[in-house]
Amino acid sequence: MREFVKFYQKKWDERLQLLRKNDCLKSMEEALLRKQAINFSLNDTIVENYITDYTLPEGLSFHYLIDNQKYIIPMVTEEPSVIAASSHGAALVEKAGGFTTELHERLLLGQVIIEKVQDAQKFCSYLETQFPRLLEIANQAHPSLLRRKGGARWLRCRILSAHIISLDLAVDVREAMGANMMNTMLEAVAQVLEQSIKGQVLLSVLSNYATECLVSAKCKLPFNILEKNNLSGKQVADKIALASRVAQLDPYRAATHNKGIMNGIDAVIIATGNDWRAIESGAHAFAARSGQYRGLSTWEIKDGYLVGKITIPAPVGVVGGSIGIVPLVAVNQKLAHIKSARELEKVIASVGLAQNLAALYALVTEGIQHGHMNLQLKSLVLAAGAHLEEVLPVVESLRKTGKRDAGSAKKALQDYRK
């Protein structure tokens, strides 16, 4: 791979020429990379070795009523059924008065891991006497946060093993997700720990297990809105509650239950320029907080209603990172009327619960494939090589055959072209 040495130093155009010259690309493929590079001057500054823009579809989800306020939710996803399911779940909840949410706190956690500690208990006790000084050092490292009424709030010491401790720092990061601000503060604290407290620092970085940044959403559905085909609303509610119980009992089911929740949350996280890996890792760590991986949401029958609840860590931002850089993020914030990180937290918790309701509703009534595959048919037909104008008629003839596989899609396309 010598020909690609210092690829990052080359101009965008030179990189594509180099790929072509080395037979990595045919001319059609090079042309596609060039055509798709719609924002090359900006994105070349965001990632290393940039070659093109990989775009994902964006759509809007409707019917969200959250704390008596209506929201239109921009969602970015490649999965065909996500947006329709989100709107369906939200519409059911809207009929029942909407979501209510609760913000618990909004602090980001970071860790300085200290190794080779002789007496962990003694070292922690000593560190505690240094907390006021260390908090001041953390704040000095990012003073603008204090001006915004944020900043370092507290420290705690946790003994991880006989010789390893974690010094945890909690910071109010205001409207940002805060990873970089936190890391700057932690490194300043780590430096002092090494220089004057003589601790041996292994590493310092934020924790994505954002237990101090939790948000909950709740909804309460009367049975009658859940009726489906030959099932009464009460029967559907009972089945949803039981499916939720299974997700508490069985990690195999819980992982899929939570994937459905994250289908919606990730789509909003991406549309709002946030870090979906951070939200994913935090959500799954939180799902395993009891020692067993469980569903993030619960549904139960209470006082004649189906009551759904979700709590997730939601360290999101409305400024910072790529949020101010990617032009579409500002448009999406405007579409959704989201003005603060707290508001975005409430929205993503509600979206997660709506998405989960739609998935469970489909699963316990007509099965997931009915709605899902109807939307997947379009993707199947496109993958079979259909041109855009051929998609709808071929989907229609495929639907009539009742078949849902790639071979049948190809055959339907061939028949259409005859």
Q: Tell me how far apart the alpha carbons of residues 355 and 85 are, in angstroms, rounded to a whole number.
A: 6
Query: Considering only CA atoms, which of 338, 279, 346 is closest in space to residue 313?
Result: 279
Q: Cα–Cα–Cα angle for 182, 186, 187, nearest 5°?
A: 120
Q: Cα–Cα–Cα angle for 108, 109, 114, nearest 5°?
A: 160
Decide if 372 is catalytic: yes
The conformation of residue 173, written as its DSSP 8-state character, comes to -
Q: Cα–Cα–Cα angle for 385, 387, 391, nearest 5°?
A: 90
Tell me the closest approach of the beta carbon of residue 268 to ligand NDP, in angstroms: 16
Please report, as a single letter, which amino acid is at residue 327: P
The residue from 208, 216, 244, 356 that contacts ligand NDP (CB under 6 A) is 208
Tell me the closest approach of the beta carbon of residue 113 to ligand NDP, in angstroms: 14
Position of tokens 């040495």?
Answer: 5
Decide if 259 is catalytic: yes
Taking CB under 6 A as the rule, does residue 180 contact ligand NDP? yes
The conformation of residue 62, written as its DSSP 8-state character, comes to E
Tell me the closest approach of the beta carbon of residue 44 to ligand NDP, in angstroms: 17
Tell me the closest approach of the beta carbon of residue 271 to ligand NDP, in angstroms: 15
Taking CB under 6 A as the rule, does residue 140 contact ligand NDP? no
Taking CB under 6 A as the rule, does residue 414 contact ligand NDP? no
Beta bridge partners of 164: 161
What SS3 class is residue 160?
Answer: strand
Q: Tell me how far apart the alpha carbons of residues 326 and 341 are, in angstroms, rounded to a whole number.
A: 17
Decide if 275 is catalytic: yes
Which of 275, 284, 309, 345 is catalytic? The answer is 275
Q: Tell me how far apart the alpha carbons of residues 247 and 118 are, in angstroms, rounded to a whole number.
A: 43
User: Which of 208, 355 has the CB closer to ligand NDP?
Assistant: 208
User: Which of 326, 375 has the CB closer to ligand NDP?
Assistant: 326
Taking CB under 6 A as the rule, does residue 211 contact ligand NDP? no
Tell me the closest approach of the beta carbon of residue 208 to ligand NDP, in angstroms: 5
The residue from 73, 127, 278, 354 that contacts ligand NDP (CB under 6 A) is 278
The residue from 98, 264, 295, 317 that contacts ligand NDP (CB under 6 A) is 317
Taking CB under 6 A as the rule, does residue 169 contact ligand NDP? no
Question: Which pair of structure tokens corresponds to residue 347?
Answer: 């929205």
Which residues are catalytically annotated?
79, 259, 275, 372
| Footprint on this chain of ligand NDP (rule: CB under 6 A) | 144-145, 148, 173-181, 206, 208, 275, 278, 317, 319-322
